[in-house]
Structure 1
């Protein structure tokens, strides 16, 4: 499972559990909260009414009490109103009065007058000076039929002479409970959805940064040119900077060790040749032989200088991770410049260079343009042409051609030489590796590695192999800009 998905699932699990816990608590607390508010209202109502009927009850005028008659009429009256969107068609109160013995003397419903309520908690507890209340189901199996009863003592001359109870069915406030629960659930679902979107956004950002860092690490591990991506001033950015610094130090140390070893190995031959010639020149010898050994010393010294110069150029290129200021390069013009650079070498070997397209060639090919460094591309083509000139038979033809191939431009250098032997095919791009040329000359073995680095910097590639018609064919591929 990818780390981004794991982070998202972990985040969603935490948020989901927290949301479930909070929503569950809120929903479960709505009903007790509403019941508590209802009970508080019933307490106030019972206390007020108990005080209002105390005088009539003491005087024995309950049957003729204007207050009780008014209560009976009000409770029987219909209503037409809405409370917070919930319709209300009548009063849901039931009020009854019991005497000091617990016998019902007044009942707004008119059904239980004369009944003994002395054992009901609301009456029993209140007659004993305690808070009396109860919740009783009218139907034992139906919790929705629960009715809340709250009592208040009726006092006269400091003693309790009766109990007034106000009752209200829980079902009358059930609509408010359900509405509150629905609102909590809908708002909770909205909150959970927003939290999920935030989690997805954060996870995407984090996973994207990690993915870019992993791509960079994979490129470094594979030995490709890689530039540390912009990761911001975050912990991931700090980690990336640390990895980049560590890579530079480790690669620098390993690179220097390898470079010094190979350079020392390659310089042994010219140094030994120079030393041998110098020792021989210390002896008496004919002038012609002396000139021969002196020319050999100069040749070997030039070889050392060329080797060091090309190696330094390759080192700079290998350490370069990207092009600093890419520009538009016209490939037709680049081919003409490369051909001009090697004109003297071509003439010395009696070779003919055919440039395709030449001036006046195909319109599409002549308009090929890439983004890159013109000087580096020119040097890379010079190296490919130098190899072709070194191996092409005297008087033969070398072809330099450019064409569009899909979303890439291909620049091909083809010669009529002996081609590449099978044993050398896998080693062509090794540093300092070179094949003996027909004239016995030996190159530095740094030309093709240089071309490969140039191609890599431009996001392209280079291949060298045997041509179908014989000889060698080197192809430099460069990406073309997107056409809008």
Structure 2
């Protein structure tokens, strides 16, 4: 155990020791192995985080550098709109990282209020159509009509806005996205349904992992943080979020919050 501890101190995580009994030393060995496994996982996640952030930063920075070099060399004048888009992409990534950090450290207090469901979904629809314009139409369904949601208004809005923008990006041309809210078995169920390519069964849980992105069919070029943040917010409310199939094709994202 001393040798394994010294190896871990040198950064060789994942060390395991043989458990030879159930006495105090055996329980200590079990605890050591559990700690070693957790440290190895934490170290792996940290390395993946650094690699993913570096990858996400590289593309917009490369675009900015190329545009500036072309302008300096007189090859092509600066395109302010293109530069702004790259800077906005960097800003979104930084904001998402800060958001995720605050959520994981429980540093986000929730200001619980009663939110009119119909009013919330209308706001989400209007903003999503501006952020992800397309040919799909957006329908709203609330049951009962006077349904109210108990939660932090800004954070619940953030979750639904992310889901709605994703749905609009992936919806079929001239298709339909449905934002719905209903009272269900002592809870409030919020859902966003699209008729796009859908999410494979084996990916429906992984889409909520940090930096996880699907193939080109449902990838919109984002950083892969939006759904991870949405899951943290929903769980802070004591709720759950999941992805389902919507008929033969399409996706239905479901959020359940305590009534």
TM-score, L = length of structure 2: 0.72
Do the aligned partners of 1:332 and 1:367 also contact (CA within 8 Å) in 2? yes
Q: Give the distance between the partners of 1:325 and 1:282, measured in 2 at CA.
A: 50
Q: Give the distance between the partners of 2:219 and 2:240, measured in 1 at CA.
A: 30
Aligned residue in 2 for 1:419: 198
Larger radius of gyration: 1
Q: How many residues align?
A: 219
| Alignment partner of 1:470 out of 232, 249, 252 | 249
Higher helix share: 1
Cα shift at 1:402 = 1.1
Q: Give the distance between the partners of 2:222 and 2:112, measured in 1 at CA.
A: 30
Q: Give the distance between the partners of 2:219 and 2:74, measured in 1 at CA.
A: 29
| Alignment partner of 1:356 out of 126, 141, 147 | 141
Q: Give the distance between the partners of 1:439 and 1:400, measured in 2 at CA.
A: 19
When residues 465 and 439 of structure 1 are mapped into structure 2, their CA distance, relative to the original with a 3 A threshold, is closer
Unaligned runs of 5+ in 2: 1-34, 36-41
| Alignment partner of 2:209 out of 410, 425, 430 | 430
Q: Give the distance between the partners of 1:373 and 1:276, measured in 2 at CA.
A: 42
Cα shift at 1:444 = 2.4
When residues 460 and 426 of structure 1 are mapped into structure 2, their CA distance, relative to the original with a 3 A threshold, is closer
1:392 aligns with 2:171: yes
Aligned residue in 1 for 2:180: 401
Aligned residue in 1 for 2:115: 329
Residue 428 of structure 1: SS of its match in structure 2? helix
Q: Give the distance between the partners of 1:279 and 1:439, measured in 2 at CA.
A: 33
Q: Give the distance between the partners of 1:406 and 1:400, measured in 2 at CA.
A: 19
When residues 439 and 414 of structure 1 are mapped into structure 2, their CA distance, relative to the original with a 3 A threshold, is closer
Aligned residue in 2 for 1:448: 227
Aligned residue in 2 for 1:283: 73
1:269 aligns with 2:59: yes
Residue 222 of structure 2: SS of its match in structure 1? coil
Cα shift at 1:423 = 5.9
Residue 342 of structure 1: SS of its match in structure 2? helix
Do the aligned partners of 2:213 and 2:219 also contact (CA within 8 Å) in 1? no
Residue 366 of structure 1: SS of its match in structure 2? coil
When residues 324 and 442 of structure 1 are mapped into structure 2, their CA distance, relative to the original with a 3 A threshold, is closer
Q: Give the distance between the partners of 2:145 and 2:154, measured in 1 at CA.
A: 19
Aligned residue in 2 for 1:458: 237
| Alignment partner of 1:302 out of 88, 113, 135 | 88
CA RMSD of superposed structures (Å): 3.1
When residues 472 and 259 of structure 1 are mapped into structure 2, their CA distance, relative to the original with a 3 A threshold, is same
1:313 aligns with 2:92: no
Residue 478 of structure 1: SS of its match in structure 2? strand
Do the aligned partners of 1:410 and 1:477 also contact (CA within 8 Å) in 2? yes
1:168-190 alpha-carbon deviations (Å, 9 max, x no partner): xxxxxxxxxxxxxxxxxxxxxxx
Residue 445 of structure 1: SS of its match in structure 2? coil
Residue 355 of structure 1: SS of its match in structure 2? strand
Cα shift at 1:298 = 3.4
Cα shift at 1:392 = 1.0
Structure with more relative contact order (C-alpha pairs < 8 Å, separation 6 or more):
2
| Alignment partner of 1:342 out of 128, 137, 140 | 128
When residues 437 and 394 of structure 1 are mapped into structure 2, their CA distance, relative to the original with a 3 A threshold, is farther
Do the aligned partners of 1:353 and 1:400 also contact (CA within 8 Å) in 2? yes
